[in-house]
Amino acid sequence: MKGIVLALSVLALGLSACGRTDPSKPENGFMTGLRAVFAFKACTGKLEDRFGLKEIGSVTSNDMKPSPAGKPGEWDVSFTADVTEKESGRVTRYQGVCHVRRDKPTSLDATFIKEIRPATDTVRRINPGQ
């Protein structure tokens, strides 16, 4: 997993160096999508830290919306993400915005929405009389 993150970081750095050749023309959708994915990937570690998650097994997001913010290569990516913790299998949903800046560390504004699937090691007791 760490090797994949490193490879993606190197690729993101390479992509950020490849700007548009003509600044008056907008980027194509493919390049914008790639930038959004790499920006969001930079924020998954922030989700772990902020919400006290165990090791993340997977992150699924179907509604990433990148928008340029300021200088070229700076992005705000709004998202709704379903995060699966590797050890417990618990799936939780978060919504927020990932701020990627060139001169500052990547930051995250996110909130917990709901728990979709509880942890597999959770024991629930049901009283049959109620």
Tell me the pLDDT tens digit for each residue of 56-66. 888 888 888 88
Does any domain span residue 39?
yes
pTM (2 d.p.): 0.64
Does any domain span residue 130?
no
Q: How many domains does the chain have?
A: 1
Q: What is the mean pLDDT of the chain?
A: 75
Structure tokens at 104: 């500052």
Is the pLDDT reported for residue 110 higher than 80? yes
Q: What is the mean pLDDT of residues 93-108?
A: 87
Does any domain span residue 85?
yes
pLDDT at position 111: 93
More confident site: 60 or 36: 60
pLDDT at position 3: 57
Does any domain span residue 70?
yes
Is the pLDDT reported for residue 93 higher than 90? yes
Domain enclosing residue 106, as ranges: 2-19+26-117
Does any domain span residue 128?
no
Does any domain span residue 47?
yes
With a pLDDT cut of 70, the percent of the chain lying above it is 62
pLDDT at position 73: 72
Alpha-carbon torsion (36, 42, 43, 47), positive or negative: positive
- CATH number of 98's domain: 3.10.450
Q: Which long-range contacts (CB under 8 A, 24 or more apart) does 28-35 make?
A: 32/66, 33/66, 35/66, 35/75
How far is C-alpha 130 from the chain's CA centre? 42
Does any domain span residue 123?
no
More confident site: 130 or 95: 95
CA 70 – CA 93 distance, rounded (Å): 29
Does any domain span residue 124?
no
